[in-house]
A and B are shown apart, each in its own frame.
Chain A
Amino acid sequence: MDLPTTGQVPRVNTDRIEEMGVEAPTKQRPLLQVTGVNKTFGSVHVLHDVDFAVYPGSVTSLIGDNGAGKSTLVKTIAGIHPRDSGTISFNGEPVDIQSPKDTADLGIEVVYQDLALCENLDIVQNLFLGREKLHRGLLDEQAMEQAARDTLASLSVRTVKSVRQLVSSLSGGQRQTVAIAKAVLWNSKVVLLDEPTAALGVAQTKQVLDLVRRLAEQGLGVVLISHNMNDVLEVSDRVSAMYLGRVVADVPVTPATTREFLVELITSGQSGDVGTARASAAEGVESPQGGTDV
C-alpha cells in the first residue's frame, strides 16, 4: 500500500472540515451502536473505548492500518471475542452478545474474508445451508430455488447462469455475491463485510460494490471494512477511522472527501482538525499487533 509516510501531505481544507463536522449529523437513530468497548489480549490493549455506530440505509466504512483493530472490533460485535467492557445496543436496546448465534438471532450477519461457502454444493444449497426449507420433513428444493432466485434478483445479481450452478464454477466476484446474498436472505438488518473486494479484479470489485450500495438502499445497515480508499470513497456514507485501537474519526463522506485525507487519518490518527492527537492515541499501546488483525 502506498501510504505517504514522509514529505508533503496535502493539507486538508479547514472549511471543508467544518462543513463535514466531527459530530455525527445524522439525526437517525443508529441501528447498531457500540459504546466504550475495551478489549485486551493478555497485556495488549487492542480496543480502547471504541465508539462505533451503524445507521439503517447507509454504508459505514471501517478503515485503519493493519493492526488498528478493525477485525477485532468486528469479531467483538459478532460475538467471537468477548469484550472486556462497554455496551452494544441494537435498535436502541442494550443487547447481550455472547456468541455468534446471538448476533445471528438479532439479524446481524458477518461475511468473512475467507468465504464460508461449500464449493461442492450449488448456489441454492449454499444459500440455505443450515437453514434448509422443508416440506413434510424433506428438502423443499422448489421453494428454496425460487427464494434464491428472488433474493439474487432483488440484489440485481444477473450474472449467474443458473442458481443450480456449483459454487466451484463461479468467479471470485460471483462467490462473494453469493456469500453476501446468503447474509441478506435471512432478513438481516446489519451486514458486516470484512474486506469483500480484497481478492477481486476491477470488474468484479465493481459488481460487489454495486451490491453493497443496493444493500443499503434496501434499508440495511452496512459495515464495509476495506484497505482500498477508492472503494471506501465510492460507496460509503460515513467513515470510521481506527488508529492503534481507537476510533479517531467518525465523519460523513462528501464529494469533497479525498483519498489523502483518509490515508492521513489511518496512518497518523489525525488530519487537520479531525482525529485524535498522536500522543493520546499511542498512549498505553505497547505495539500495534499485526497478529490480532486476523
Chain B
Amino acid sequence: MSDQALTDFALDNETMDFRAVVRSSFARLRSGDLGSLPAMLAIAALVAIFGSVNPSSFLSTINLANFLEQSSSVIVIAMAVSFTLLLGEIDLAAGFTAGVSAAVLATRLQEWPLLPSILMAALVAVALGTFTGFMVAKVGIPSFVVTLANVLLFQGVLLLLVREGGSVRIENEIIKDLVGGNMSPTVSWIFAGLALGLFTFSLLRQQRASHGAIPLSLVAFKVAAATLGAAVVTIVLNQNRAFPNAPAPIQGTPAVIPVVMVLLVGLNFVLNRTRYGRHLYAVGGNAEAARRAGINVERIRLSAFTICGLFAGVGGAFLASRVNSVDPNTGANDTLLLAVGAAVIGGTSLFGGQGRMLNAVLGGFVLALIPNGLTLVGKQTLPLIGEIDFGSSGTKFICAGVALLVASSVDALSRKRAR
C-alpha cells in the first residue's frame, strides 16, 4: 500500500487478498484495537492449563456439556447488562431482576399453565427495567444510585415472593429442560447445519457489500474453520455421556446452546442493523451530539433499561432451570458481578459506546471456565507452598477477580497506547 493510496477513500476502493487482510488485522491490533482477542486468548490459555492438569475430567464430554450449561445464565445476564453498559450506565440490580422474574415464573407455574406464567414473568421483568429506566432517564438519578437502591428493593421483593429460607420448586418439563435438556443427535446435526448455513449466508452478504475489501478466500477460511469446530463439538456432544449402568443415555447438544445463539444473533441484529441500535451507540458515545442529531436521548436511555430488565428476566429463567427451583439466593451473590465482568472481559467498555453481544459470550466462557476448571484441579501439592485446594470458593473468587483485573488492565493499557 503506497502512501498516495491513503487518501481519496483509497481504502474503500481497495481490493484485499487474504494476506492483506491478515496484515491489516495485525496493524489494527498494534494500534491498540484489541477487540475480543484477550478473551479468546484467555479461553485458549485456561483450556490448555486445566486440560493439561486434569485431562480425564476437564476434557471429558460430560464436562464440556456441563460447562456450556454453567456459562449460559451468566452470558444471558451479561447480554442484558450490555445494553446499559453501551450507554455508559450500569444496572447493579440486574441479578435481582433475574431473581424476581424467576420467582414470579416459579410461583405462577404452580397454578397457571406455562405460557401465561412466562408472559407474567416477562412482564414483571420489563416493568422492573422500565422503572429503573424512568428513574434514570426522566427523574435524572445516576443509574449507579438507582440500581443500588434497587438491589435492596428487588431483593426484598424476592424474599417476599419465595419467603425467607424457602424455595419454590419447578415441575414444568420445558423450563427444566431449558438448561439441562439435550437435543437428540439427529436434531443436533440439523441445528449445526442450520447454524453453519446462517453463518455462511451472513459472511457472503458482508463480502458482497464490501466491494472486494473482504476476499472470498477469507470467507472460505472462516466457514471451513466454523464447520470443523461445529462438527467436532457436535460429534463429541453426541457421544453418550451418562455414567455406566445409567438407565438412559445422555447425548446430544445441550438445548441451551440454540437458545443462547438465537439471543446472540437477535440482539446483534438489533444493535447493528436497526436505527435503534445505531442510536444506542450514538447516545453512549456522545449524548449531546445524539441530541443535536435529533435523537430522543431520554427515550433511548429508558428503553435500554427496559431491554436490560427483559433479558435479565430471561437469564432468571436460566438460573431457575439449572437447579429446578427458585430460592432467595437466585440471582444474588456474585451473579451480577460475574455478568458485568463477563461483558468487560469480552471487551465491552464501561464508559459507553463500545461493545458487542459476542463479548458477553466470550467473557462468560472465561468466567465459567475458571470455577469449572479449578473444581476439577482440586487439591494439589505445590513445591514450597504445600497443599492448596484449588476447588475452594476462596481460590475461585481470587482467580475470577484476577481475570477481571487482567482484562481491564489490558484494555486500559491498549487504549493508552492507542492515544
Contact = CB atoms under 8 A, between A and B. Distances in A.
Interface in A124-182: 125-126, 129-132, 134, 137-139, 141-142, 145, 149, 152-153, 158-165
B290 to A, nearest CB: 7
A125 B8 CA distance: 18
B305 interface: no
10 contacts: A104-B294, A114-B288, A117-B289, A129-B290, A130-B294, A132-B275, A158-B7, A161-B7, A163-B12, A164-B11
Contacts of A44: none
Given A121-B281, A129-B293, A163-B12, 7 more contacts: A101-B294, A117-B286, A121-B278, A137-B274, A139-B278, A149-B9, A161-B7
Contact of B288 (A116, A161, A164): A116
B354 interface: yes
Interface in B278-316: 278-279, 281-282, 284-286, 288-290, 292-295
A162 B8 CA distance: 8
A158 B8 contact: yes
A286 interface: no
A120 B8 CA distance: 22
B6 interface: yes
Given A118-B281, A139-B278, A159-B7, A129 B295 contact: yes
B353 interface: yes
A84 interface: no
B273 interface: yes
Contacts of A139: 272-275, 278
Nearest to A142: B209
A125 B286 contact: no
A121 B9 contact: no
B354 A120 contact: yes
A119 interface: yes
Nearest to A179: B289
Query: Which interface residue of B9, B272, B286 has the most chain A CB atoms within 10 A?
Result: B9
Interface residues of A, number: 36
Interface in B326-371: 353-354
Nearest to B14: A162
Contacts of A152: 9
Nearest to A139: B273
Interface of B: 6-12, 209, 272-275, 278-279, 281-282, 284-286, 288-290, 292-295, 353-354
A114 B289 CA distance: 9
Nearest to B295: A130
Nearest to A162: B11
Contacts of B209: 141-142
A116 B289 contact: yes
B294 A131 contact: yes
A118 B295 contact: no
A115 B293 CA distance: 12
Contacts of B289: 115-118, 126, 129
A104 B292 CA distance: 11
Contacts, number: 88
Contact of B285 (A118, A149, A163, A165): A118
Contact of B9 (A116, A131, A163): A163
Contact of A118 (B272, B273, B286): B286
A254 to B, nearest CB: 35
A117 B292 CA distance: 9
A234 B274 CA distance: 44
Contact of B293 (A116, A134, A149): A116
Contacts of B7: 158-161
A160 B13 CA distance: 12
Contacts of B353: 118-120
Contacts of A164: 11-12
Contacts of A137: 274
Q: Which 10 A-B residue pairs are closest in the complex by CB-CB distance?
A: A130-B293, A120-B285, A120-B353, A118-B285, A162-B11, A130-B294, A129-B293, A116-B289, A116-B292, A118-B286
Nearest to A134: B275
A152 B9 CA distance: 10
Contacts of B275: 132, 134, 139
A130 B273 contact: no
Contacts of A130: 279, 282, 290, 293-295
A159 B8 CA distance: 6
Nearest to A167: B285
B12 A149 contact: yes
Nearest to A100: B292
A149 B10 CA distance: 11
Nearest to A130: B293
A145 B285 CA distance: 20
A123 to B, nearest CB: 10
A129 B10 contact: no
Contacts of A121: 278, 281-282, 285
Contacts of A163: 9, 12
A232 B279 CA distance: 37
A118 B12 contact: no
A45 B67 CA distance: 71
A57 B351 CA distance: 43
Nearest to A112: B292
Contacts of B294: 101, 104, 130-131
A155 to B, nearest CB: 13
A161 B9 contact: yes
A133 to B, nearest CB: 10
Interface string A20-46: 000000000000000000000000000
Interface in A163-205: 163-165
Contacts of A112: 292
A157 B189 CA distance: 52
A161 to B, nearest CB: 5
Interface string A89-127: 000000000001100100000001011111111000110
Contacts of B11: 161-162, 164-165
Contacts of A161: 6-7, 9-11
